Amino acid sequence: MNEEPSRGFSLERIAFFSDAVFAIAITLLVIDLRVPELVEDASDATLQAALEALLPRVFGYLLSFFVIGLYWLAHWRRFHYIVRSNEGFAAINLLLLGCIAFIPFPTALLGEHGDRAVPVVIYVLSLSAAGIVGTVSWLYAARTGLVIDPLPAPEIRVAGLRGLIVPAVMLSSLVVIPFLGPHVAELLWILILPVHLVFTRLATRFLGVVD
Amino acid sequence: MNEEPSRGFSLERIAFFSDAVFAIAITLLVIDLRVPELVEDASDATLQAALEALLPRVFGYLLSFFVIGLYWLAHWRRFHYIVRSNEGFAAINLLLLGCIAFIPFPTALLGEHGDRAVPVVIYVLSLSAAGIVGTVSWLYAARTGLVIDPLPAPEIRVAGLRGLIVPAVMLSSLVVIPFLGPHVAELLWILILPVHLVFTRLATRFLGVVD
Amino acid sequence: MNEEPSRGFSLERIAFFSDAVFAIAITLLVIDLRVPELVEDASDATLQAALEALLPRVFGYLLSFFVIGLYWLAHWRRFHYIVRSNEGFAAINLLLLGCIAFIPFPTALLGEHGDRAVPVVIYVLSLSAAGIVGTVSWLYAARTGLVIDPLPAPEIRVAGLRGLIVPAVMLSSLVVIPFLGPHVAELLWILILPVHLVFTRLATRFLGVVD
Amino acid sequence: MNEEPSRGFSLERIAFFSDAVFAIAITLLVIDLRVPELVEDASDATLQAALEALLPRVFGYLLSFFVIGLYWLAHWRRFHYIVRSNEGFAAINLLLLGCIAFIPFPTALLGEHGDRAVPVVIYVLSLSAAGIVGTVSWLYAARTGLVIDPLPAPEIRVAGLRGLIVPAVMLSSLVVIPFLGPHVAELLWILILPVHLVFTRLATRFLGVVD
């Protein structure tokens, strides 16, 4: 009896393996929020001060959670249209997962030394790399015929462009560091959310993409 | 050949991604149970005392495991009735996972400083947030037509209400802290279990909901 | 249009959620193998001594990996025959996962203080609890009609008994601690493997169970 | 009503359990990249020096990520052809997962003490063990009829041989340690990539294996 290799199962494994890596990366972020250790008879004010000193790390946790969440949503959205896999796609997807799994480190670095330029640059480069590799994986899938057929062309362009919003905003923010310092750069990252919303609205109106 | 986007697979990925985050959060809790380090020739009594000093953390582990377990059961139960997904639901679900993934931190805080008010308040707010966002995700799914059709209306109300039992008990317990201290508040959390059981029995009797 | 709740998917989620918890527990074990930190100009002999001092932890890692592996195999085997789920089964399975997720702590305790009685007792009780709850979940599934029908009766008894081998050997080993010390008790655990093999052979011969 | 044990589901669980272990092992690697702690008023140069001191660990992270990634790809590729499972295969696969889950420890050891011979040897033996057990699992599956039928014979030989490239290169590199030191051995590991590419090209040309 002839049996076909289970190609659909292969694609499913790539998706679930990715889900597991995303889930672990997103959960490991919290490990960096270490509980302050105090002497036995420390006052409540001491504890409160120690907790407030954790706030930059909480900010880092929230930010990285938000970005990894966006990336997972993008990954999930891309897989609506991907219906086949090949070795090249599996390899590029692994590269993407390597970038995602790395994020807890620059997040911890930012939480500890977010007032200096070098950690901010490392953080921006790490998160941007993940966004760019994600877009590359989508373009590769579209080029090598792994997506549903026919895929409306605007869909490809929009999905590619949306994946680049985080890298675009973050990399641009680096420009201000020499003049205004790392904190202003970090503030600029808040733009990721409105840019996303505006972009989605424009894409829906002009390209007819229903998200 | 026209191919449909694999919408069923999308829902499955949301469920499995959620399972992975729940699983990691529930397993990371144990990391806070650090093995006491003793000097080489410490007596058995010293070890026993060090282990007994771990008991508040073990209490925290059990409590958080119980609550995350309840939340996973609620999530699993909701997905009996959810048969479609959309981007908004995926986003609210991500928010829920962010709350779940955060729980190991307030758990560790409670284990270390459970005799003070601030950690108890942070713990209650964190766990309540997860319960409330879970209920919101269910209401959103019901409103935007992601659930089986027809869904018996009591089912919606009951599922929504049950998800609010943990937040209701925990938030109420905060009231006693200024008068009776954090330990009494913690004791009140034991009410979660009987309230759950009574609620399920009443729902079955009066609304005809078979669980 | 009437739609059925997706009951098969519910069972699948229990299985995959369990897999995730097993996978994390089995992988967290290695975290306890901390790399020795040495002064810059330490000799190779110092490093080798530090690595040799890690051997009890490596023993703990291997043992717990072996036992969690056996438990996963047992879980996987049970799910060959379980074709439905209900809330009670999901809850008992959660309790089992709580036991599994706890194992890294007694493993670390054994690795650090394996020459004392109390850690050995805690280790034995933790691992035995997981084995016993696993068996209870199987009996519950068989009683409440969640298994394939007809399930050959010997299958139930055998699966139940096999799950009890680890608890039986481990709990019995506790008897020797007052007389021969914890190390002899630990040595007795090696019996788990031959008892398993003999049991499987006997079950195959007398009950006609093909594994 | 007679119901068949769900054998396809069993294979799926082995695959997803493996994915979870691979995902956690690959993500835990980053935990070893600890953020340098500095005094409050440390200069930027101090931070940069501390980050540069992390580079050997980053090298270890990248290398182990690359090798675990290769192993996951090999596992994924093997499951294209595996369509059934049995207890023996599940057990060998568990052994493979034990090797994979262990890798974060030798990786951390290499990152901390990569300039000494013993850590390099431990690293090589750990990663080679995983590669060899993976190949054994494939041969076992092919021998006991778990693969698609007919499986073109070259496919078996090629998949077996390719799994051995990492062990072959790494174990060979050990030969140079007594003469040229551990750093030259580590440099030789770069050969893994070109050997892989040449091997794949040769296999395609002479055996007609389309990857």
Q: Which of the 8 DSSP states describes residue C147?
A: B
Contact residues on chain D for C39, CB-CB shorter than 8 A:
none
Q: How far apart are CA A140 and CA B5, in angstroms?
A: 18
Q: How far apart are CA B18 and CA A19, in angstroms?
A: 9
Instruction: Give the residue, B49 or A156, on which the prediction is more confident.
Output: B49
- Measured in degrees and rounded to the nearest 5, phi and psi for residue B115 equal -95, 10
pLDDT of residue D17: 94
D147 pairs with which residues across the strands? D82
Q: How far apart are CA C156 and CA C167, in angstroms?
A: 18
Average pLDDT on C75-85 reads 89
pLDDT of residue A156: 73
pLDDT of residue A8: 62
When the pLDDT of each residue in chain C is averaged and rounded to a whole number, the result is 85
Distance in Å, alpha carbon of D52 to nearest chain C alpha carbon: 17
Which of A6-10, A82-86, D5-9 is modeled with the greatest confidence?
A: A82-86
Whether pTM > 0.80 for this model: the answer is: yes
Cα C161 to the chain's mean position, in Å? 14
Instruction: Give the residue, D155 or B191, on which the prediction is more confident.
Output: B191
Average pLDDT on C178-204 reads 86
**Residue B66: C-alpha distances to residues B162, B166, B167 (Å):** 15, 11, 14
Q: Which amino acid is at D208?
A: G
- Measured in degrees and rounded to the nearest 5, phi and psi for residue D34 equal -85, 140
Three-point CA angle C29, C31, C35, nearest 5° = 130
Count how many residues are written for chain D: 211
pLDDT of residue B208: 64
Closest CA to A125 of A141, A143, A154, A105: A105
Q: How far apart are CA D37 and CA D116, in angstroms?
A: 26
Instruction: Give the residue, B65 or C208, on which the prediction is more confident.
Output: B65
Q: How far apart are CA C118 and CA B51, in angstroms?
A: 10
Q: Is B156's pLDDT higher than 90?
A: no
Q: Is B48's pLDDT higher than 70?
A: yes
Choose the closest CB to D6 out of C69, C73, C83: C83
**Residue B45: C-alpha distances to residues B36, B41, B49, C40, D72 (Å):** 13, 11, 6, 37, 47
Q: How far apart are CA C71 and CA D26, in angstroms?
A: 23
Burial class (CB in 10 A: 0-12, 13-18, 19+), A165: buried
Q: Do C5 and B148 touch (CB under 8 A)?
A: yes
Handedness of CA B139, B143, B148, B153 (dihedral sign): positive
Instruction: Give the residue, D3 or C113, on which the prediction is more confident.
Output: C113
Contact residues on chain D for C20, CB-CB shorter than 8 A:
20
Please spell the DSSP secondary structure of chain D, one letter per residue.
------HHHHHHHHHHHHHHHHHHHHHHGGGGSPPPP--TT--HHHHHHHHHTTHHHHHHHHHHHHHHHHHHHHHHHHTTTB----HHHHHHHHHHHHHHHHTHHHHHHHHHHTTSHHHHHHHHHHHHHHHHHHHHHHHHHHHTT-B-SSPPHHHHHHHHHHTTHHHHHHHHHGGGHHHH-HHHHHHHGGGHHHHHHHHHHHHHHHH----
Do residues D210 and A87 touch, judged by C-beta distance below 8 A? no
- Measured in degrees and rounded to the nearest 5, phi and psi for residue B82 equal -90, 125
Do residues D146 and D82 touch, judged by C-beta distance below 8 A? yes
Do residues B88 and B151 touch, judged by C-beta distance below 8 A? no
When the pLDDT of each residue in chain D is averaged and rounded to a whole number, the result is 85
Closest CA to C166 of C124, C203, C113: C124
**ipTM, 2 dp:** 0.85
Q: Which amino acid is at C150?
A: P
3-state secondary structure of A64: helix
- Measured in degrees and rounded to the nearest 5, phi and psi for residue C82 equal -90, 125
Cβ contacts of D103 within 8 Å, gap of 6 or more? D25, D29, D64, D67, D68, D126, D127, D130
Confidence category of residue C208, pLDDT binned at 50, 70, 90: low
When the pLDDT of each residue in chain B is averaged and rounded to a whole number, the result is 85
pLDDT of residue B36: 80
**Per-residue model confidence as pLDDT tens digits over A5-24:** 455 678 889 999 999 999 99
Q: Is B6's pLDDT higher than 70?
A: no
Q: Over the Cα atoms of chain D, what is R_g?
A: 20
**Per-residue model confidence as pLDDT tens digits over B77-91:** 888 888 889 989 999
Distance in Å, alpha carbon of B65 to nearest chain A alpha carbon: 16
- Alpha helix (H) residue ranges in chain A: 7-28, 44-53, 55-78, 87-102, 104-113, 117-143, 153-163, 165-173, 177-180, 182-188, 192-207
**Per-residue model confidence as pLDDT tens digits over A153-196:** 777 777 777 888 999 999 999 999 888 888 888 889 989 889 98
**Per-residue model confidence as pLDDT tens digits over C130-171:** 999 999 999 999 889 888 887 777 777 777 778 888 999 999
**Residue B170: C-alpha distances to residues A2, B55, B177, B195, D142 (Å):** 60, 21, 12, 12, 56
Q: Is D203's pLDDT higher than 90?
A: no
Confidence category of residue D208, pLDDT binned at 50, 70, 90: low
Q: Which of the 8 DSSP states describes residue A171?
A: H
Q: How far apart are CA D157 and CA D159, in angstroms?
A: 6
Instruction: Give the residue, A57 or D19, on which the prediction is more confident.
Output: D19
- For residue B198, give both structure tokens: 């009574």
Q: In this structure, how many other beta carbons lie within 10 angstroms of the beta carbon of residue A194?
A: 10
Q: Do C24 and D25 touch (CB under 8 A)?
A: no
How many Cα atoms within 13 Å fall on the side-chain side of residue A100?
33
- Measured in degrees and rounded to the nearest 5, phi and psi for residue C147 equal -100, 170
Q: How far apart are CA B198 and CA C10, in angstroms?
A: 25
Instruction: Give the residue, D37 or A66, on which the prediction is more confident.
Output: A66
SS (H, E, C) chain B: CCCCCCHHHHHHHHHHHHHHHHHHHHHHHHHHCCCCCCCCCCCHHHHHHHHHHCHHHHHHHHHHHHHHHHHHHHHHHHCCCECCCCHHHHHHHHHHHHHHHHCHHHHHHHHHHCCCHHHHHHHHHHHHHHHHHHHHHHHHHHHCCCECCCCCHHHHHHHHHHCCHHHHHHHHHHHHHHHHCHHHHHHHHHHHHHHHHHHHHHHHHHHCCCC
Q: Do B37 and C116 touch (CB under 8 A)?
A: no
Cβ contacts of D114 within 8 Å, gap of 6 or more? D56, D59, D60, D120, D182, D183, D186
Q: Is D157's pLDDT higher than 60?
A: yes
Q: How far apart are CA A135 and CA C36, in angstroms?
A: 41
Look at phi and psi of residue A60 and say left if phi exceeds 0, alpha if psi is from -120 to 50, else beta: alpha
Q: How far apart are CA D147 and CA D88, in angstroms?
A: 14
pLDDT of residue D7: 52
Angle between helices B104-113 and B87-102 (to 10 degrees): 20
When the pLDDT of each residue in chain A is averaged and rounded to a whole number, the result is 85
**Per-residue model confidence as pLDDT tens digits over D91-120:** 999 999 999 999 989 998 888 888 888 899
Choose the closest CB to A148 out of B3, B13, B23: B3
3-state secondary structure of C1: coil
Q: How far apart are CA C81 and CA C89, in angstroms?
A: 14
Q: Which residues of D touch C (CB under 8 A)?
A: 1-7, 9-10, 13-14, 16-17, 20-21, 23-25, 28, 31-32, 87, 90-91, 94, 97-98, 101-102, 104-105, 108-109, 111-113, 116-119, 122
Q: Is A128's pLDDT higher than 50?
A: yes
Q: Which amino acid is at A84?
A: R
**Per-residue model confidence as pLDDT tens digits over D76-85:** 988 888 888 9
- For residue D149, give both structure tokens: 């039928």
Choose the closest CB to D80 out of A5, A105, A117: A5
Average pLDDT on C169-192 reads 89
Q: Is C1's pLDDT higher than 70?
A: no
pLDDT of residue A89: 94
Q: How far apart are CA C9 and CA B8, in angstroms?
A: 11
- For residue D161, give both structure tokens: 């041989």
pLDDT of residue B7: 52
Q: Do C101 and B26 touch (CB under 8 A)?
A: yes
Q: Is B20's pLDDT higher than 90?
A: yes
Average pLDDT on B29-53 reads 81
Choose the closest CB to D5 out of C22, C51, C80: C80
Q: Do D65 and A3 touch (CB under 8 A)?
A: no
Q: Is A91's pLDDT higher than 60?
A: yes
Q: How far apart are CA A83 and CA B133, in angstroms?
A: 32
Instruction: Give the residue, D141 or C163, on which the prediction is more confident.
Output: D141
**Segment among B27-31, C62-66, D139-143, D187-191 with least mean pLDDT:** B27-31
Which of B123-127, B149-153, C44-48, C82-86 is modeled with the greatest confidence?
A: B123-127
pLDDT of residue B1: 35
pLDDT of residue A209: 58
Closest CA to C168 of C143, C145, C135: C135
Please spell the DSSP secondary structure of C18-67, one letter per residue.
HHHHHHHHHHHGGGGSPPPP--TT--HHHHHHHHHTTHHHHHHHHHHHHH
Distance in Å, alpha carbon of C155 to nearest chain B alpha carbon: 29
Choose the closest CB to D19 out of A13, A108, A116: A13
Confidence category of residue A2, pLDDT binned at 50, 70, 90: very low
pLDDT of residue D1: 35
pLDDT of residue C61: 86
**Segment among B50-64, C91-105, D167-181 with least mean pLDDT:** B50-64
- For residue B97, give both structure tokens: 């996972």
